[in-house]
Amino acid sequence: MELVAALQDSGFGAWARGSAYAYPLANLLHLAGLVLLVGAIGLLDLRLAGAFRALPVVALSRVLTPLAVVGLVLMAPSGLILFAADAEALARSTVFRWKLALIAAALVNAVAFRLLWGRRLSSWDGAAPPVARIMALASLLAWIAVGALGRLIAYA
């Protein structure tokens, strides 16, 4: 908690709280990142789970995965700004801690998926193996839950 308090009390934390533009802009970028991430990876996850079978998996992955990465890249620094503005309260928030845990789980799932299945996507134009389908559904649910928890932080 000392590091959290130091971040909140730092010039960066003061800027995040006090600037008329920093917090609102960070909030908008965080939301835009979430939309890109969940929109892109959500569509790919749905395809891997069995929806939209007429669409080729490899082509979708090539287009949607970079968009999801851009979403993550937007969310990381904007999330840090949002956190710095009220770090102590967020660090004590059970909802925030669940959000962080789900982000970690979703990222581990994404890396595991790529390591296990990344080179086999081209053979899945019909259907993915059952374990891959389960991982895709877990990804979709995890990222939706991350977004929901992020929105619920203000109410918990």
What does the alpha-carbon distance between residue 97 and residue 14 come to, in Å, rounded to a whole number? 23
What percentage of residues in the chain have a pLDDT greater than 70? 100
The 10s digit of each residue's pLDDT in 117-128 is 988 888 887 788
Where along the chain do its domains lie? 2-155
Q: What is the pLDDT of residues 4-44, one digit of tens each?
A: 999 999 999 999 999 999 999 999 999 999 999 999 999 99
**Residue 47 near residue 57, CB atoms below 8 Å:** yes
Q: What is the pLDDT of residues 86-139, one digit of tens each?
A: 999 999 999 999 999 999 999 999 999 999 998 888 888 778 899 999 999 999
94 close to 50: Cβ distance less than 8 angstroms = no
The reported pLDDT for the residue numbered 13 is: 96
| Identity of the residue numbered 131 | V
CB 91 within 8 A of CB 4: yes
Quick check: 120 and 37 in contact, CB under 8 A? no
Q: Which of 68, 83, 89, 110 is nearest to 23 (CA)?
A: 83
